[in-house]
Amino acid sequence: MSAAPALLEVDRLTVHHGQLCAVREVSLSVRTGETFAIIGANGAGKSTLLRTIVGLHRATSGRVVLDGEDLTHARPDARLKAGIALVPEGRRLFPSLTVEENLLVGAYRARRGPFDVARVYELFEWMAARRRQRAAQLSGGEQQAVAIGRALVANPRVLLLDELSLGLAPVVVQRIYALLPELTAAGVTVLLVEQDVGQAVRVATRVQCLLEGSTTLTGTPAELTRPRIEAAYFGVAHEQEPEPR
Ligand SMILES: Nc1ncnc2c1ncn2[C@@H]1O[C@H](COP(=O)(O)OP(=O)(O)OP(=O)(O)O)[C@@H](O)[C@H]1O
Ligand SMILES: [Mg+2]
């Protein structure tokens, strides 16, 4: 075990959708300052895991703990106040509200911290000039930026990012991911979900793979060879797996 304390601890979390067990005994611990990536194929349970961490699904069993505070049974607004914010899959902006109105929704009852609407306009230089445009009129990449801004103005200690790259051109994805070091420098710890394994491995300090709700692999990018990742991701036995270096 590392000496660095965990900021966000997920302990043997199990989540059901009706009869379906979508997340099964998943544990992970995200240390302050990390960029922790969850990878996995469609339906692996990634979004269910993040949504349960922010309180949008109820855990069947297990715990969610932020900096020693057990939030397992806390309401979503209490978790936000405690410092966990989610950028949901598919952005989920309010399409008929303007860019600025969407950001202000995130600032409602925000924690104190470095981020406010003005700071978001510094992060995304194009945004201020388009603040009065409706979110529906923005491109996918622009909407993703607004969704990130909306989560940031809550000043989360841990920012959860659910598939930022979904439906975006590679160049746009790169631009968005290039932002992460700046967030880390501002004190934000990141837990992200990606189907794009290459992207996850490039930005993450640690990677955990889910397959049908269970953890199949965890390690640092340096420890995880491509065959090991592929085996964990697709659930195929790997015959000639090289020894970890
Ligand atoms: N609200 C829901 N009601 C019923 N079943 C659900 C619900 N949400 C997800 N599921 C099911 O739970 C499983 C995990 O879904 P989840 O969305 O968490 O996976 P994911 O890893 O995020 O997938 P993707 O990469 O496609 O986003 C899937 O089998 C999915 O069909
Ligand atoms: Mg998902």
CB contact at 8 A, 74 and 129: no
With 0-12 / 13-18 / 19 or more C-beta atoms within 10 angstroms meaning exposed / middle / buried, residue 73 is: exposed
User: Domain segments of the chain: what residues?
Assistant: 6-234
**Nearest atom, ligand 1, residue 57 CA:** 1
If one residue of 14, 20, 56, 197 were mutated to test the ligand 1 pocket, choosing by the most ligand atoms within 8 A of its CB, it would be 20
**Nearest atom, ligand 1, residue 45 CA:** 18
pLDDT above 60 (res 39): yes
Query: Nearest residue CA, atom 3 of ligand 1?
Result: 17
Binding site membership of 46 for ligand 1 (Cβ less than 6 Å):
yes
Ligand number nearest to the C-alpha of 214? 1
The two three-digit tokens of residue 14, written as one number? 């199990």
Query: Nearest residue CA, atom 6 of ligand 1?
Result: 17
Looking at the domain that runs over 6-234, which CATH code has it been given? 3.40.50.300
CA of 226 to the centre of ligand 2 (A): 22
Model pLDDT for residues 117-171, shown as the tens digit of each residue: 999 999 999 999 999 999 999 999 999 999 999 999 999 999 999 999 988 888 9
Binding site membership of 189 for ligand 1 (Cβ less than 6 Å):
no
Residues 6+ apart with CB under 8 A from 220: 205, 206, 207
Give the model's pLDDT for residue 189: 97
pLDDT-based confidence at residue 110 (cuts at 50, 70, 90): confident
Ligand number nearest to the C-alpha of 210? 1
With residues binned 3-state (H G I as helix, E B as strand, rest as coil), the percentages for the chain, rounded to 5, are 35, 25, 40
pLDDT above 90 (res 12): yes
